[in-house]
Amino acid sequence: MEQERKRLEQEREVDRRREEKPAKEESESNKTDNDNEANQHTDDKLAKVNEKLESNFSKTESEEEELKLKAENKIIATSKDSVDESDIPNLAKEINETIQKEIAGLPSQKAKNQSKLAKNLTKYLDSAHDTILTATRALNDVTGYSAIEKLKKSIETQEDDLKKAKEKVKQCKIAYGEAIQRRSHSQREVNELLTRKHNWSSNDLERFTELYRNDHENEIHEQEAEKKLDEAESKVDGVQLKLTQSILTRYHEEQIWSDKIRRSSTWGTWVLMGLNVLLFVVATFIVEPWKRSKLVSAFEDKVKQVLVGISQENEQILDPIIEKLEPTDGQVPIKTSFDFKFVTNTWHGLKAALVRNYEALMSPEITNLEFDKFEFELFTMTVAIVAFSMGSLLVSLFK
């Protein structure tokens, strides 16, 4: 009974295949007809496109020929007459001018239309741009930032390599999965054939032989795919490790560079502060007294000139005044002591007191200085603070 059932199943399978065969042939014929129609349709479209291209090409060729004919006619018209060799440059210049008139907007025309100021400005901007680039490059070389830029570019290259390696891993995984699926499908079919080994036909025997022969090839393909996948994954790990190390190196180098720049900016700030203090001292104790003395001397000279001019008219009235302004007897008492004060309520008063104190210190006639007790204490404390600050600064500089 079982054999008859199997025989009936085989007959049904054969009938089913016979019925499917004409349907497949009909579908294939329909497919070929559709393909022929599509090919014919595309051929028609290509023919139309070719016709359009040929027409455009013929138009452009005709336009170019017209331009050439115009130039050639002009050359022929000039060459018919007797032309000297000295007229050849003029002829070429005229032809060039006609070409520039026909085609507007050429770079040479724009360069001619530019003013002298625009040309000088363009030249200056180009030179300034080159100078800025050179200075920036030199500064980067000095500070070591050029090497950091190279490290950044290498990190970008490694990121691209990592993306490519990951993409290759995906492809290897897909190929490895397909190889496994192909082999498992082949083994499943072999197992199905082995379950009905007693009822094999000639086709089943050929199929079993083919599957058994392909099983070894599938195994080799699977092993190769697995090997490629392992290599791709190891490459991804290597590239990722190198990228991580490069990023850490870049972070460390940028930290060192930023510390160097911060230290340089600190020293620059100290230098600027010192320059500001120096300028303040020079302006307060040297420039301002000099300006004041110049103004006073100029005012005295002006007053003297006016008084002398008036004295010529009225000497008797101005003789006592001139004697008071310019004593000649040498009996004017000169002060040898000076009351040293610098505590005032206003900034202008402080400046005036500092100028008076400076003049008194520099004057050879002053031999004694008088201090108030509070001002002496304040002066001593100020000198001590300044000395302590300068000593601390020198210790920090030469430490």
Q: What is the tens place of the pLDDT at every residue in 274-288?
A: 899 999 888 888 888
Q: Which two tokens mark 125?
A: 């901007």
Separation between Cα atoms, residue 228 and residue 178, nearest integer Å: 14
In a domain, 133, yes or no: no
Q: Which residue has the higher pLDDT, 171 or 316?
A: 171
Q: Give the other-Cβ count within 10 Å of 145's Cβ.
A: 18
Check if the beta carbon of residue 227 is closer than 8 Å to that of residue 233.
Answer: no
pTM of the model: 0.40
DSSP state of 1: -
CB 336 within 8 A of CB 304: no
343 within a domain of the structure (yes/no): yes
Q: Is residue 387 part of a domain?
A: yes
CA distance 295 to 166: 83
Token look-up 């108030």 returns: 372
User: Which tens digit of pLDDT belongs to each residue from 207-257?
Assistant: 777 777 778 888 888 889 889 889 999 999 999 999 899 899 988 988 888
Specify if 362 maps to a domain.
yes
Domain that holds residue 350: 333-399
Which residues face 338 on adjacent strands? 369
CA 179 to chain CA centroid, nearest Å: 48
State the total domains in the chain.
1
Answer yes or no: are the C-beta atoms of 366 and 337 closer than 8 Å.
Answer: yes
Higher pLDDT, 67 or 233: 233
| Alpha-carbon span 243 to 161, nearest angstrom | 10
Is 355 inside any structural domain?
A: yes
**Domain for residue 345, yes or no?**
yes
